[in-house]
Structure 1
C-alpha cells in the first residue's frame, strides 16, 4: 500500500520537505553557476569574434533560462 504524506508522521513529512528544499536549492545553485559560466564564455566568443561559438553558447544559455 502506498504511503500518503498526509497520513504519515510529522517528522517524516519534515524530512521529505527538507529533502525537497535542499534539492531545489542545489538545482538553483547549479543553474546559476552554469549561467555564469556560459555568460563568461559568451563574452570570450565576442572578444574572439566567433559567431559560431556565440550562437552555440547563447542557445545553451536560453535552454537553461
Structure 2
C-alpha cells in the first residue's frame, strides 16, 4: 500500500509541475507578444528581432 501512495504522490507532483510549467509558458508568451507589439510601434527593429526569435524558440 505504501508503494501505491508514493507513486500517487509522485504522479500528483508531476501533474502540478506540468500545470505550473504551462502557466509560466503562457504568461511568457503573452508578454512576448505585448513586447513585440511595443517594439513594432516604436520602430525598434533590434528588439523586435530578439523578441520574435525568443518566441520562435518557445515553439
Structural RMSD (CA): 1.1
TM value normalised by structure 1? 0.83
Match of residue 35 from structure 1: 29
Higher helix share: 2
TM value normalised by structure 2? 0.91
Match of residue 44 from structure 2: 50
User: How many residues align structurally?
Assistant: 58
1:63 positional shift: 1.2
1:64 positional shift: 1.4
Match of residue 59 from structure 1: 53
Higher alpha-carbon Rg: 1
Give 5+ residue unaligned stretches, structure 2: none
Q: Which consecutive segments of 4 or more residues in structure 1 shift more than 2 A?
A: none
